[in-house]
Amino acid sequence: MTGLFEDFSMTIGGKGVTSPATIDVLNPATEEVVASVPDCTQDQLNEAVAAARKAFPGWRDTPIDERRKVLFKMAEVIAANADDFARLFTLEQGRPLAGARMEIDFGAYWAAEVAKQEIPVTVTEDSDQKLSETHHVPLGVVAGIVPWNFPFNLALWKIAPALLTGNTLVLKPSPFTPLTMLKFAELMRDHMPAGVLNVVSGGDSLGPWLTAHPEVDKISFTGSTATGKKVMESAASDLKRITLELGGNDAAIVMPDVDVDAIADQLFFAAFGNSGQICIATKRMYVHEDIYDKVAEALTVRAQHAVVGDGLEQASNFGPIQNRPQFERVKNLIEDAKEKGLNFIAGGDLKDDKGYFIPISIVDNPPEESRVVQEEAFGPVLPLLKFKDLDEVIARVNASEYGLAGSIWTKDVEKAKEVAKRLDTGTVWINHSMYIMPWTPFAGRKQSGMGVENGQEGLLEFTAPLTITVAKEPQPA
Ligand code: NAD
């Protein structure tokens, strides 16, 4: 066993495995190398899938209460190492330490809460002639693929339900943020049978190898819509089961009856938490024209006071963009907005320093068709938009290829619930945002995804229904 900050190895068949080649993981605040990790070869990936396949029958037949214990152990191991995990997280992901610690703590909480979930058995007939029960059995080997924005928690969203339901797993973190997951798997090696949880790290070939692998039964994928489509194509060859949690362009609708001062902090956080790198962040904010100026002023003041900096520095409230390609994408979106003559009421000017820093930026009422409104920025750039009429704003919100989540801010909760039913998204929050718990089903509509994660619906996505029907003895006359 080594410390949390050095000697990164993959976990394959319960053992630590290194590779002939490595990839460097950079600190996005300094662009310096934090550590090198194995670049998994195709043979090693095959070994990981074979280890998961070998472990499957034993794990499937392990009583669920024993499987629960492994999840509780995960929570214990995370909690016992939370300070180091949080620091490692900041080094690779960039988020300031307090936010990093929240993600680590939430990972422990998630494992422990999923451990308490039940797999239902439904009796669909209990007549004189027949007893019919539907059980939910594990699928086999699951491939879990996760992005870099919440690399720890989103991995736990896959590990905990996959293992609880009796599947074995090969998890692939993003090449930009593999460190915390590699160390988590290392710390868990002695606490579960070999092959139940395998974690592999590598470059761009690794994801396609994994999704095309004939011994993988299900893919649980979180990432961009563009990659999600490739995953779906790859899964089609042998009809692998898939759950896709993809991109979004979530809208907030702010009605004229709100108390702007009371909700301004929440609106600001909804858009700029994790520097906007949240799939369910508010990426378009529609504000009624009567209160537009007041909301614009409240957000601008907060943007001016925000400290964007290295996550290890105490003063920083917002970290950098996590990686160079994403930094270039967000920069390009800002440049496009400027070229089109759009007005920034906050931010918009980039410094030429080290690190992938982008200031908190707000664009003042840009045209609906502008790129900054239509595209998922996935960075701290918010278009603030005016609306007059409710039907008009609902149409604008729904005119998106995405349908992940959204929020409505108003004192009239009943009316907001009616509006929620007219939004083409999987989740709507009223007077708050970004609330997802182990028991809340989370599902993207349109090009935001397919299937469900979390809640009982999400748990059952790691299973297949098995209906067992028993013919009863003929009843005596
Ligand atoms: P990405 O699609 O580039 O990468 C996601 C993961 O897929 C990474 O591990 C990557 O290595 C892997 N990958 C890349 N190409 C692959 C391929 N051809 N086959 C298989 N795997 C492949 O996404 P990203 O840039 O890491 O993450 C940002 C995106 O993720 C945003 O669009 C965001 O909205 C989305 N996201 C969605 C949710 C959700 O729950 N809906 C949550 C977080 C992030």
What digits encode the pLDDT tens for the residues 281-327?
999 999 999 999 999 999 999 999 999 999 999 999 999 999 999 99
What digits encode the pLDDT tens for the residues 237-267?
999 999 999 999 999 999 999 999 999 999 9
Q: Which of 227, 230, 326, 401 to mutate to test the pocket of ligand 1 (most atoms within 8 A of CB)?
A: 227
Which residues make Cβ contacts (< 8 Å) with residue 477, sequence separation at least 6? none
Is 228 strand, coil or helix? helix
> Does residue 2 have a pLDDT over 70?
no
> Does residue 1 have a pLDDT over 70?
no
Is 35 strand, coil or helix? strand
Is 402 strand, coil or helix? strand
Contact yes or no for 30/48 (Cβ under 8 A): no
Which residues is 430 bridged to in the sheet? 408
Q: Which of 237, 240, 245 is nearest to 49 (CA)?
A: 240
Report whether residue 148 contacts ligand 1, using a CB cutoff of 6 Å: yes
Q: How far is the CA of 114 from the centre of ligand 1 (A)?
A: 23
Report whether residue 279 contacts ligand 1, using a CB cutoff of 6 Å: yes
> Does residue 24 have a pLDDT over 80?
yes
Q: Which of 37, 39, 205, 224 to mutate to test the pocket of ligand 1 (most atoms within 8 A of CB)?
A: 224
Contact yes or no for 178/127 (Cβ under 8 A): no
Q: How far is the CA of 30 from the centre of ligand 1 (A)?
A: 23
Nearest atom in ligand 1 to 234's CA? 19
Report whether residue 446 contacts ligand 1, using a CB cutoff of 6 Å: no
Protein residue whose Cα sits closest to atom 9 of ligand 1: 174
Nearest atom in ligand 1 to 325's CA? 25
pLDDT value, residue 381: 98
Nearest atom in ligand 1 to 453's CA? 40
Q: Which of 328, 443, 336 is nearest to 383 (CA)?
A: 336
d(CA 420, CA 406): 9
Report whether residue 376 contacts ligand 1, using a CB cutoff of 6 Å: yes
Instruction: Provide the strand spans (E) within 262-413.
Output: 284-288, 344-346, 361-364, 381-387, 402-403, 405-409
Contact yes or no for 273/250 (Cβ under 8 A): no
What digits encode the pLDDT tens for the residues 422-469?
999 999 999 999 999 999 999 999 999 999 999 999 999 999 999 999
d(CA 306, CA 268): 10
> Does residue 99 have a pLDDT over 90?
yes
> Does residue 194 have a pLDDT over 90?
yes
pLDDT value, residue 105: 98
Q: How far is the CA of 64 from the centre of ligand 1 (A)?
A: 31
What percent of the chain shows pLDDT beyond 90? Answer: 98
Q: Which of 40, 47, 92, 279 is catalytic?
A: 279
Report whether residue 220 contacts ligand 1, using a CB cutoff of 6 Å: no
Contact yes or no for 13/51 (Cβ under 8 A): yes
Place of tokens 């009422």: 365
* Cα-trace Rg, the chain: 23
Examine the residue annotation and report whether 279 is marked as an active-site residue of this protein.
Answer: yes
Contact yes or no for 10/19 (Cβ under 8 A): yes
Nearest atom in ligand 1 to 173's CA? 9
What is the average pLDDT across 72-86?
Answer: 98
Report whether residue 211 contacts ligand 1, using a CB cutoff of 6 Å: yes
Considering the entire predicted model, what is its pTM? 0.97
What digits encode the pLDDT tens for the residues 144-166?
999 999 999 999 999 999 999 99
Over the chain, what is the mean pLDDT? 97
Report whether residue 195 contacts ligand 1, using a CB cutoff of 6 Å: no
Q: Which of 245, 376, 453, 461 is catalytic?
A: 245
Examine the residue annotation and report whether 40 is marked as an active-site residue of this protein.
Answer: no
- Kind and range of the H or E run holding 428: strand 427-430
